[in-house]
Amino acid sequence: MHSAFELIVTQSPDLILLDINLPDGSGFDLLKKFDQVNFKVIFITAHQEYAIKAFKFSAVDYIMKPITAGELLIAIDKVQADISREETALKLSTLLSNLEKLKKIVLKTAESIHIINVSQIVRCAADVNYTTFFMEGGEKLLVSKPDDKQ
């Protein structure tokens, strides 16, 4: 278990596949060694009685042995979806944080250039090379960005 802990600390994996029974402890003992679990866990085990405890440790999935390739692929797809959602949330959080620091933004429409207070933007809707900015008071600005590949 000590070598597994050290390996996880040094390699920082996104996902570990973990059994309940390890040669020198349990998978739960290993997870308890971390102040914060910054990786996803899929338990693969022959012990169905620990499933609830595994999910309390934030396991993404709990697969019973013997496993099939299909079960493992479904579990890994869940992990990928979780990671994707977390990355998107982080990107949005960063964007919002950056926007809060901005006071104004320049938007160029087909008709003119607009200097807008960021706080006036209610939402944006993107469609390929076009973005519609919805403003307080119902005003809309359509901004286009030409495709650089042409």
Write out pLDDT tens, residues 85-125. Answer: 998 888 888 887 777 677 788 898 888 888 888 889 999 99
Domains of the chain: 2-97 (3.40.50.2300), 102-144 (no CATH)
- Torsional class of 58: left (φ above 0), alpha (ψ -120 to 50), beta (otherwise): left
Cβ atoms within 10 Å of 44's Cβ, excluding its own: 19
Q: pTM of the predicted model, to two decimals?
A: 0.62
Question: Closest Cα to residue 76, out of 13, 22, 122?
Answer: 13
